Each structure stands twice: as structure tokens, then as C-alpha cells.
């Protein structure tokens, strides 16, 4: 992967896109207006394809806009993304850690997590507005249809595997025309058992471009 576009802050936030195909940076958006490195877009040269890589804020612990500024920032971030997505016109792949598990079956216990940040009704509805703004197709649920188990994140606690308390926080969404070219999708869950792993696991989607 010799082609790289990186937007990061040392020891803090960051996003990166690496590729075997030549690419060029297509933009950076600061949807919080605070300088955090949470988005970078790239264009694949020789292909009519844009990849938008985003890291949506986690939102803190309290699901209340007034009591928790971080939660308000998260909702506003997604709202600004929604307005941005309405104007997109090229085949686009939107990927990243969205920090929202939008469907009832995207978490291990829907009722228990209704008041937990990442699965509150307000977050799910706000992310739904983003999905509808461009007609995005959720590739994770196209290839692994609801209500099948589909998680991308587990706690670092030692019992994570035994209890399987996962959430689907990471997503790949495609523009309608690009979604038609998707051929396969999988969650690389085995990486969660590596030595010193991330608490997130990779997603892989195959396209016929």
C-alpha cells in the first residue's frame, strides 16, 4: 500500500486512507469547527470514485445535549455531514467509525442500551437522516441482513468474547451507483483475538469497478 493520505493529530484523533491504486486528497472537513482531525476524502485516480473517511465523535457518557457538550457536538457533527452529503454527486464510499449502532440488532441488548451513548434513539435517528440525505446503502446490512449478528466493536474487558457484548459502530456506506458494484462484504472478527488488538475490527468490501 504505497499510496497514503493521512490527516492526524499526534497522540489524538486521526484518519488515514492507504491504497495500492494511486490517489489524491480530495478535501478535509472540520464538522466540529474545532480543528480535530476527523475526516479526509480521497479520489482514486483512473476511477470515478471518492472515498470519504470519517471518525465521528464518541459523544461522552451522558446522552443529553444540554448536560453533555460532547453529545451535542456529536449530533451537530452528524447534522453538518448530512447537509454536506445532500450535495454529493459522484460515486462515493463513506467509511469509518461512526460511533453509532443504528439498528436494534446492531447491539447485544437493544433494550439495555437505549440510554447508552451510541445506541440512543436520538443518535440512531440523526444517523438515519445522514443515510437518507444521499440515499446511502449500508453495505454491512446488505450482505449481512438484519437481524443477523453483525458487530465491529467489543469492550477491552477480559470477558468480551464469552459475553459477546458487541456493537456495530463501524460502517461502509455507498452511493447507489457504487453500491450496485459491491460484490462481497465481511467483518474480520478474528483480529480481535490478536495480541494487543484494537477494540474495533476491520471491515472488507469487494467491488467490481
Q: Can you give the residue range of the structural domain that contains 131?
A: 56-207
Give the residue from 81, 77, 13 showing the smallest Cα distance to 52.
81
- Any domain includes 46: no
CATH number at residue 90: 3.60.10.10
- Any domain includes 12: no
- Any domain includes 38: no
- Any domain includes 22: no
Q: Length of the chain in residues, anyone?
A: 209
- Any domain includes 36: no
Give the residue from 92, 78, 85 showing the smallest Cα distance to 133.
85
Give residues with Cβ within 8 angstroms of 81, minimum separation 6.
29, 31, 54, 56, 130
Residue at grid coordinates 488488538:
197
Q: How many CA atoms lie within 13 A of 54 on its CB side?
A: 30
Domain count across the chain? 1
pTM for the whole thing? 0.96
> What pLDDT shows up at residue 141?
99
In DSSP terms, 79 is beta-bridged to: none
- Any domain includes 49: no
> What pLDDT shows up at residue 133?
98
- Any domain includes 68: yes
Are the beta carbons of 153 and 167 closer than 8 angstroms? yes
> What pLDDT shows up at residue 135?
98
pLDDT by 10s per residue, the chain, length 209:
999 999 999 888 899 999 999 999 999 999 998 999 999 999 999 999 999 999 999 999 999 999 999 999 999 999 999 999 999 999 999 999 999 999 999 999 999 999 999 999 999 999 999 999 999 999 999 999 999 999 999 999 888 888 999 999 999 999 999 999 999 999 999 999 999 999 999 999 999 99
Residue 12 backbone dihedrals phi, psi, to 5 degrees:
-140, -135
- Any domain includes 90: yes
| Pairing between β-strand 166-167 and β-strand 170-174 as defined by DSSP bridges | unpaired
Cis peptide preceding 147, ω within 30 of 0: yes
Helix/strand/coil for 153: strand
Amino acid at each position: 500500500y504505497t499510496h497514503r493520505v493521512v490527516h492526524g493529530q499526534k497522540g489524538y484523533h486521526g484518519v488515514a486512507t492507504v491504497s495500492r491504486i494511486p490517489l489524491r486528497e480530495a478535501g478535509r472537513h472540520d464538522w466540529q469547527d474545532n480543528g480535530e482531525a476527523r475526516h479526509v476524502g480521497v479520489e482514486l485516480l483512473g476511477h470515478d470514485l471518492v472515498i470519504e473517511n470519517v471518525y465521528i465523535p464518541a459523544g461522552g457518557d451522558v446522552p443529553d445535549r444540554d448536560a453533555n457538550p460532547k453529545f451535542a457536538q456529536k449530533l451537530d457533527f452528524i447534522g453538518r455531514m448530512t447537509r454536506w452529503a445532500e450535495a454529493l454527486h459522484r460515486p462515493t464510499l463513506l467509511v469509518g467509525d461512526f460511533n453509532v449502532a443504528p439498528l436494534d440488532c446492531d447491539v447485544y441488548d437493544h433494550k439495555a442500551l437505549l440510554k447508552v451513548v451510541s445506541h440512543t434513539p436520538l443518535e440512531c435517528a440523526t444517523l438515519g437522516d445522514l443515510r437518507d440525505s444521499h440515499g446511502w446503502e449500508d453495505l454491512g446490512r446488505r450482505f449481512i441482513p438484519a437481524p443477523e449478528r453483525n458487530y465491529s466493536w467489543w469492550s477491552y474487558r477480559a470477558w468480551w468474547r464469552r459475553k459477546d457484548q458487541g456493537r456495530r459502530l463501524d460502517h461502509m456506506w455507498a452511493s447507489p451507483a457504487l453500491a450496485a458494484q459491491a460484490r462481497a462484504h465481511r467483518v474480520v472478527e478474528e483480529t480481535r483475538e490478536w495480541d494487543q488488538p484494537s477494540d474495533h475490527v476491520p471491515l472488507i468490501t469487494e467491488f467490481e469497478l
